[in-house]
Amino acid sequence: MIEAKKFIFLSRWQRNAVSTVLGTLLLISSVLLYLCKTSLQDPEIKLMSIDLIKLTVTAWGAWGLILLYASSNSFSRIDKETLAFLKDDLSRPFLLASSQAQATYLKSEPTGDTPQLRLISESYQGVKYAYGIDSFKIYFLCRLNVQELSVLVYLPAKHEKDCETIYKTSLSYLREKSEIKVTLMGVNDAGWLEPGQKRFELQIFRLLSEDFLFDASKRIYISSGVFGDIRAFFLRARKAQLEDL
């Protein structure tokens, strides 16, 4: 079944124009009804003004529903919800996990301290984060394009050779998910961290539903999944580092 809202795409000018016309009609009908009670004693004009008010109010109700659909199909709304997901929704599970209530649980893992999330930079449809402790961090870049979420994870370059061993459980878990695609990107330049620095990169790609940005439960589910992935890679990368010392 084709949803009608997919065909509703209104510019700001169109929304303002229709709202102005409906508002003008409502004002005119209200003025006519007032005049009929004061100076114009014409029953036909009175009935016409009452009918016009009813039609205008009904039109406003229908127009309100159209505006609700159109607002979720506008560039500004999509951009706003994209940024809200990348900055607020994605960071929420990390902040909850690093809270005092969760600190004891996380310290049972081989991290030493409670890992923290830090926003490094943000750009159009993408944010970069650092996750870890003072002595060891991994980095990840999240890009969201309405129905496509790409998480590029930056791990120590020396882990490329033994990545299937170090990250065996994490990679196996992700590869079992039909909605997730994992791609090993190899060692590449990460000059945005430090000049000349290289990192082993892997991409976690998720294909989302078309109404993802406007469904709170789906946003919570995906952000929790990203947290689980990043935390798992951090713990395994940290464990490998400690074994090398």
Distances (CA, A) of 193 to 140, 196, 237: 11, 9, 18
Is 80 exceeded by the pLDDT of residue 206?
yes
Query: What average pLDDT does range 131-153 have in this prediction?
Result: 93
Are the CB atoms for 129 and 137 separated by under 8 Å? no
Q: How many CA atoms lie within 13 A of 53 on its CB side?
A: 13
Give residue 108's pLDDT: 44
Q: pLDDT per residue over 152-193, tens digit each?
A: 999 999 999 999 999 999 999 999 998 899 999 999 988 888
Q: pLDDT per residue over 29-41, tens digit each?
A: 777 666 666 665 6
> Counting beta carbons within 10 angstroms of the beta carbon of residue 224, is it exposed (0 to 12), middle (13 to 18) or buried (19 or more)?
middle
Give CA–CA dist 161/157, Å, rounded.
9
Which position has the higher pLDDT, 37 or 245?
37
Q: pLDDT per residue over 25-79, tens digit each?
A: 777 777 766 666 666 566 766 677 677 777 777 776 676 766 666 665 667 778 8
Q: How confident is the model at residue 111 (pLDDT cuts 50, 70, 90)?
A: very low
> Counting beta carbons within 10 angstroms of the beta carbon of residue 83, is it exposed (0 to 12), middle (13 to 18) or buried (19 or more)?
middle
